[in-house]
Amino acid sequence: MADQEHLDFPTEDGPSLGTVISEKLTESIANMDLLNTLQKMVAVEPGDEESEVIRDKLRGVLAQFKDMTDDDKAEFAKKIKEGLASKLSMRLKNNEMLAGVEDAIREAVMTKLYMVAAAAFVILVLIVFFGYKLYKSIKEKEKKREEKKKAKQMKKKK
């Protein structure tokens, strides 16, 4: 139940994951071609007896659908789409289909962030290391130059 509240509670950044998925599924269902979808479902090979029974029922529905008038087809398609959209929305609200999706996304994002942070740390360490070496080299050259200058001055004084 806590996961349910978490998924449906809008965040500061916008709507929740469950809401967005529900809206996109509803939009996709509204735009689908029902006849083509039914034909594809009938064409799929059944895996068991239950699937074969459902496939036979779909064949009957498809035959009846082809015999309907255009107005009846539109009404039937509308009712099927509404029923499918409401069923999917209900499952999303019951959190059956989104179990762990949000956690998996969060984990993937955190993993990527850790990788980027590790890469940035390595680059920073390399920059500091080479910067230190450059600084040390410059100081060493200045020191040698100063020593040469002092040595020349000492020779001139002698």
Scanning the chain, the segments in alpha helix (DSSP H) are: 2-8, 17-31, 34-43, 49-67, 70-93, 101-157
Rounded Cα gap, residues 90 and 82, in angstroms: 12
The answer, yes or no, to whether residue 8 has pLDDT greater than 70, is no
Query: Is the pTM value of this prediction over 0.85?
Result: no
How big, in percent rounded to 5, are the helix, strand and coil portions of the chain?
A: 85, 0, 15
Give the pLDDT of residue 69: 86
- Tell me the one-letter amino acid at 89: S
Give the pLDDT of residue 142: 96
Average pLDDT over residues 134-154: 94
Domain ranges of the chain: 2-99, 115-158
pLDDT digits (tens, 9 = 90+) for 62-97: 888 888 888 888 888 888 888 888 887 777 766 655
The answer, yes or no, to whether residue 12 has pLDDT greater than 60, is no
pLDDT band at 126 (very low <50, low <70, confident <90, very high): very high
- Tell me the one-letter amino acid at 158: K
Rounded Cα gap, residues 102 and 56, in angstroms: 37
Rounded Cα gap, residues 55 and 104, in angstroms: 34
% of the chain residues with pLDDT over 70: 83
Mean per-residue pLDDT of the chain: 80
